A and B are shown apart, each in its own frame.
Chain A
């Protein structure tokens, strides 16, 4: 005759129960924190890639950033969102090169407390402009009413190259006042000619972007 051995049931101790509850609460908090952190990272990374760009949508040439599919039907969502959310009016990348710089050529943030020299090469046959804004895209108020230089208004060097200076105090030559603006954004626009540019010509244009040198800061 078979016998069955019955084990007596041991109720969990109070300490064990407390440990289990603490473990469940800890896991719930970990999960909530993980989801909250992930949400923050997701929103932040999206906004960063929309406002500042990433290698997915932006080409970088020294300090100059170029949204490669700006204004194109085939543009990626970051480029489309950049255009829509900022309210910028931009000529399509098919018809112009639009380059933005927030740093000098050494990588330091452009700021109105510093003086800068911008040296550009000759761009024969291409119409270009160089404008300065504050970090919110506003023109910098100044008594000289001077906010930009273009291929029409610049005083070029004899070889066609040009130098523009940015700073608080007046200087001879192509000077744009920037006093009191805080962080600066430079926008360099080069219009394609009426018959367009080939990829090789675009690459050549992109190699000849101006160099931004910080001279002094106060």
Chain B
């Protein structure tokens, strides 16, 4: 009982309140600080609105931390400020995937290959705000037949399982068929 009497309850309350406020502020600052995000790192190095195929992931060539060496990657950082993006990818076998990510790493679109058949992915990415007022004739036609997602910025990742040296040229050939291209609206 003597111990509880000696506690300064006002200080304890202040401690809890300040710790909670700082915890919340610190967490939300971390969410909004995207300087170290995968998008920031990729957008800094790679050309925008172009699919870039990277070499095999090796210790001296890892663009991102914890980037799994189990795959070959093609990246396309995109910006749809005044364009529509057309994305095409071929997923021939199990382990092949294509994903569209927002700058904060949120997945906007993802498709994985099925083991039974080859999958062709055609996507249109349009701006997410009011600046986008319509598609050009060509882009409109494409958007009618393909899936369309809205995103002002982000990056596209085509991932091909790296089955080792004997398969690399075949993997490279299929990865080279992946594309992301800007079309003026």
Contact = CB atoms under 8 A, between A and B. Distances in A.
B106 A75 contact: yes
A145 to B, nearest CB: 7
A138 B27 contact: no
- Which of the four size classes fits the interface of chain A? 35 or more
Interface in B27-78: 27-28, 30-31, 33-34, 36-38, 40-41, 57-60, 62, 64-71
Given A87-B36, A139-B59, A151-B95, 6 more contacts: A42-B19, A45-B23, A84-B104, A87-B40, A88-B105, A141-B59
B106 A73 contact: yes
A39 B22 contact: yes
Contacts of B179: none
Interface residues of B, number: 60
Contacts of B157: 89
Interface in B90-120: 94-95, 97, 99, 101, 104-107, 110-115, 119
A195 B114 contact: yes
B27 A39 contact: no
Given A42-B21, A191-B112, A131 B68 contact: yes
Interface of A: 30-31, 34-35, 37-39, 41-43, 45-47, 49-50, 71-73, 75, 77-78, 80-81, 83-92, 94-95, 125, 127, 129, 131, 133, 136-141, 145, 147-148, 150-153, 185, 187, 189, 191-195
Contacts of A71: 101, 105-107
Nearest to A71: B107
A189 B68 CA distance: 9
